[in-house]
Structure 1
Amino acid sequence: MFDVEGTVSIVTGALGGIGRELVRSLLSNKAKGVALLDLNDAQAAEFQASLEKEFGANKTLFLKVDVTDLENVKGAFKKCVDHFGNLDIVVNNAGIIGNIEMVIKINLLALIQISNLAFFDYLPKYRKGNEGVIINIGSVGGLYPFHILPDYCASKHGVVAYTQALGSNVHYQNTQVKVMGLCPGGTDTEIFKGVPEYYQQFMKDTDHAIQQTEIVGDALIKVLKEGSNGSIWISKNSEPAFEFDYKSETLPILLKHVS
């Protein structure tokens, strides 16, 4: 079982709704520190102040980073290690809905580049324990071909496939880095509020109740503690996260009343 206590994490998209809860969950489980990577720095100081009040001083490091700029990302990884001394967990959470080119660049290409940097370079060298961990935040839209937001769906399918491929034993035996995916269902964030009304109605017409971000934060810790290499987990309907099994799961488990 992976122990979060004393670890250092990088979380991308750390100032978004889900990102904030991922950070809080790590600190709640006695993480040594979390580097907050985000391009939007408008609320960084306020968020860090709230975390310091809740968890104590010197637990976070904010780094303004464009995840599509690999050199920018490399600099952030170095700053994180220089600041905290180690790096054990990387959570790829940055994601958008909107412009097709940016959806692919941020949701998929940047995630792959950041994961490769973590997997082949930083986590093998700088982790404090026997294992490093990468958690890629996908979506239930990455498990089945949702007809809503097809470009977003395609990017998240790529995240799931990449996670499973990198999370194979042949890779693990060379690095001792686990790679797992966490796929939230409809979650109450700004990104969800920005999608078309018909998408929101679609969610209401299926079995996807809109959950609070805290549910995904709890799911992260469960995946870290219980997840096996290459596994994909689902967090939906405010329920405890569960592992997705391609051999037994069927489309109606995620969707119903959709033609």
Structure 2
Amino acid sequence: MRELAGKVAVVTGAGSGIGRALALRLAAEGMTLMLADVDHRGLADTAALAGDAKVLTQITDVSAATEVAHLANRCFGELGAVHVLCNNAGVYQGGHIWTRGQEDFDWLLGVNLRGVLHAIHEFVPRMIEQDTEGHIVNTVSVAGLFAVPGSGAYAVTKHAALAASQALAQDLAAAGSKLRVTALCPGAVRTRIGESDRVRPPGLAHTPTQDEVDARAAIDRAVAGGIEPSEVADLAVAAIHEERFLVLTDPKYAERLRRQTETLLTGSLPLYQ
């Protein structure tokens, strides 16, 4: 998309972190915003930071199909169109894959994967029908490329989100659509992803296992040394303009991806510490 000014963007998970940075960056481009999150206060703060941009907000749990449908209906009903859809909402839980219970997978899959699928189902057909340029940005994570120790359940959801992004892009291209897709794969970013328990549904409260505690400490260390969310947002907007599918936030990830592919082709397991 060459021109964003005067058009409409939807951002989920807009109450903090990368979602907030995306919202503010798109506002700076002159876009009207529909912002969604489960965090009432964070959402209000993001809206207040958006300056003179026209902003609507909607409390939305993206894991619930009915809530995403309501978000889409409100967007098209009140704003008339959607040109950029940022499926950014995401949650993290670490620990060995064999210690993650069904409730953990349900939560992670609900937000990280089904949230993307619900939005594709509700927004994309109407975006196609607009017959205008448009772009879908799915915040995937490098965990969608590399399954590292201590983040198995999270990696499962992010690998699936990457597959959904690629499948969507392929289907749109095959259909001759004007819509494009970006799989945004940030690594360590200074966000509150390690504090995802703050939005864990009350009915899923649990006592963390030791491996989960250790994984949380590791993610906190990584986040502390990460890049700013605004840098990720800049890369995402550049990808929209350039119609770029895969966005990595650090050149070292490209080399790591090459090494992983070469190792897999030998039949061996890539190892990460």
TM tier, shorter chain?
0.7 to 0.9
Aligned pair partner of 1:226 in 242, 245, 263: 242
Aligned pair partner of 2:112 in 107, 111, 123: 107
Q: Which residue of 2 aligns with 1:18?
A: 18
Aligned pair partner of 2:128 in 121, 124, 129: 124
List aligned pairs for 1:166-181, cutoff 5 A.
Answer: 166-168=168-170, 171-181=173-183
Q: Which residue of 2 aligns with 1:189?
A: 191
Q: Which residue of 2 aligns with 1:46?
A: 45
State the 1:187 CA deviation. Answer: 0.8
Counterpart residue identity of residue 126, structure 2: Y
Normalised TM-score (structure 2)? 0.77
Identity %: 23
Whole-angstrom CA distance in 2 between matches of 1:66 and 1:201: 27
Whole-angstrom CA distance in 2 between matches of 1:191 and 1:204: 12
Change beyond 3 A, Cα 1:86–1:134: same
Q: Does 1:80 align with 2:75?
A: yes
Counterpart residue identity of residue 173, structure 1: A
Normalised TM-score (structure 1)? 0.81
Whole-angstrom CA distance in 2 between matches of 1:243 and 1:118: 31
Contact kept? 2:16, 2:42, Cα under 8 Å = no
Aligned residues: 240
Moved more, 192-201 or 217-226: 192-201
CA RMSD of aligned residues (A): 3.0
Deviation readout 1:108-163 (Å, 9 max, x if unpaired): 122112123222x2212346xx3221111001111122122100011101111111
Contact kept? 1:187, 1:211, Cα under 8 Å = yes
Q: Does 1:250 align with 2:259?
A: yes
Query: Larger helix proportion, structure 1 or 2?
Result: 2
Whole-angstrom CA distance in 2 between matches of 1:202 and 1:102: 19
Change beyond 3 A, Cα 1:209–1:45: closer
State the 1:80 CA deviation. Answer: 1.3
